[in-house]
Amino acid sequence: MFYFEFFFFFQRWSLDLSHAVVSRAIFHIDNVYKIPNLRVIGNVCKTNRSTNTAFRGFGAPQAMMICETIIDHISRDLNIQREVLAEINFYKEKEKTFYGQTLEHNHIARIWKQVSIFNYFILF
């Protein structure tokens, strides 16, 4: 699979933390999924509006929602259950992220199994 993502963030009229928000979003775009050919470009666009910098999630929740939406669209296109497609593409222990971090103590498979046993994801 090949995936190319552009991010455009509005910096507003003053220097704020928009560049840090873009960086954080880029590092979270893959969420928990191995996407072998991922390329992400983030851009900050200066506007004439007042500053309204992100707080709390700082770009990460938005990036992860983009990834989950992509997984949802792919599962519909391939006519595969969303949960099955997600599980197939989870990062495995010792795999490297697209930015080169080796994953150690990766608990996603264990947590997913626990959630699946109790069908918690059906409730949400």
The predicted-structure confidence for 88-118, as pLDDT tens digits, reads as follows: 999 999 999 988 999 999 999 899 888 887 7
Q: Each residue of 53-90: pLDDT tens digit?
A: 656 778 888 889 989 999 999 999 999 999 899 999 99
CATH number given to 2-123: 3.30.365.10
Euclidean distance between the first and final Cα of the chain, in Å? Answer: 28
Q: Quote the pLDDT of residue 49.
A: 77
Q: What is the pTM of this model?
A: 0.78
Domain segments of the chain as ranges: 2-123
Q: What is the DSSP letter of 37?
A: E
Phi/psi of residue 43, nearest 5 degrees: -130, 140
